[in-house]
Amino acid sequence: MRTRDLPALRSLGFGGAQIGNLYRALDDRTASEAVAAAWDAGVRYFDTAPHYGLGLSERRLGVALAGRPRDDYVLSTKVGRLIVAHDEPTASDLENGFAVAGDRRRVRDYTADGVLRSLEESLARLRTDRVDIVYIHDPEEPTDRFDEAMHGAVPALHRLRDEGVIGAWGVGSKDAGILRRFVTQASPDMVMVAGRYTLLEQDHALMVDCASHDVAVVAVGVFNSGLLSERRAGTGSKYDYADAPPELVARANAIARVCEEFGVSLPQAALAYPWRHPAVVNVCVGMRTPDQVRRNVDLMAGPVPGGLWTELIERGLVEENR
């Protein structure tokens, strides 16, 4: 069975950025309890990356999953950023979004050697002998690294998959254009689509390419950085990691009002929406605390009437699948 087809993917996934101190500090105990709560709720897909807290997310996830039956869950991490000692340490890495000491830094490397080194270091931080899925991480930032990845990371990951070292490989990005290039030219098993297939944004061209090339989709960023995470959006709501423009706040609230007519909350609909597309195999959400885990699990389990999607499409608030 291909990794992308494993039953563990067919439920809520645990995104590891939050336990890497995304935006604000989190203590080790709470991070471990969040992972434990996810496990107890039946979550069996866990995603992380070296980027998240300069390795902190991987280390915490490794500790929290220690002792769990390794064949009972799917684990993914990413390549493209090596974590090295910082020549000029800073007090904090908040400039890059993480509340950790800036004694290390990220070095972009999408070469074959970089992939192998990154994976080896991730395995050590995760305290495991294998990961199931490896994603090429943000190959569009800060400049387009498509060619470097195509000549280095892609053949290396194909080889690792064919040798059985990893179960599958893919690309993770919020840039739909570069994801389409990989889908049509590199034959990945899957893509992690960040914020581009949500209630607010539907990049149907990407989804059509994924379906036609038999590439599975893991949908992340389904709350669009927070704008869809509450019953109503307000001033200060975030969209793509920045303050949401007023027109998007208004649109989110228009969607929320329709949801309420059907007895559904906005975040519940946001979690449910991606599953409507046959290419989607998982919806993965960042979760910081046990309470957040339980909330999202409950939201995912709640029924969403099919008529909601019809009404949203008829009102021009959501585009129909094409």
CATH fourth-level superfamily of 3-314: NADP-dependent oxidoreductase domain (3.20.20.100)
What is the percentage of the chain residues whose pLDDT exceeds 70?
99
**C-alpha span between 158 and 103 (Å, rounded):** 33
Could you report the per-residue pLDDT of 150-159, keeping only the tens digit for each? 999 999 999 9
Q: What is the pLDDT of residue 41?
A: 97
SS3 call for 48: coil
Could you report the per-residue pLDDT of 187-202, keeping only the tens digit for each? 999 999 999 999 999 9
Omega within 30 of 0 (cis) for the link into 142: yes
Residues in CB range of 102: below 8 A, 6 or more apart: 86, 89, 90, 91, 92, 93, 95
The confidence band for 322, taking pLDDT boundaries of 50, 70 and 90, is low
175 has a pLDDT exceeding 90: yes
Q: What is the pLDDT of residue 2?
A: 77
Per-residue three-class SS string for 137-167: ECCCCCCCCHHHHHHCHHHHHHHHHHCCCCC
Could you report the per-residue pLDDT of 219-255, keeping only the tens digit for each? 999 999 899 999 998 878 888 888 899 999 999 999 9
Could you report the per-residue pLDDT of 266-316, keeping only the tens digit for each? 999 999 999 999 999 999 999 999 999 999 999 999 999 999 999 999 999
Give the closest residue to 130 by CA, choosing from 185, 198, 73, 82: 73
Residues 265-292: b if buried by 16+ CB within 10 A, e if exposed: bbbbbbbbbbeebebbbbbbbbbbbbeb
**Lowest mean pLDDT segment, chosen from 11-15, 144-148, 169-173, 238-242:** 238-242
The confidence band for 1, taking pLDDT boundaries of 50, 70 and 90, is low
* Catalytic, out of 45, 52, 73, 135: 52
pLDDT (mean) for 40-45: 98
Q: What residues pair up with 14 in beta bridges, in sequence order?
A: 46, 285
Give the closest residue to 55 by CA, choosing from 12, 107, 111: 107
* DSSP classification of residue 184: H
- Residue 239's identity, in one-letter code, is Y
**C-alpha span between 6 and 73 (Å, rounded):** 9
Q: What is the pLDDT of residue 78?
A: 98
Q: Are 284 and 219 in contact (CB under 8 A)?
A: yes
Q: What is the pLDDT of residue 174?
A: 95
Q: What is the pLDDT of residue 241?
A: 81
**C-alpha span between 233 and 235 (Å, rounded):** 7
Q: What is the pLDDT of residue 132?
A: 97
**C-alpha span between 115 and 113 (Å, rounded):** 5
* 52 is an active site residue: yes
Average pLDDT of every residue of the chain: 95
The pTM of the full predicted model, rounded to 2 decimals, is 0.96
Residue with tokens 């000029």: 88
Q: What is the pLDDT of residue 20?
A: 98
pLDDT (mean) for 9-18: 96
What is the percentage of the chain residues whose pLDDT exceeds 90?
91
91 has a pLDDT exceeding 90: yes
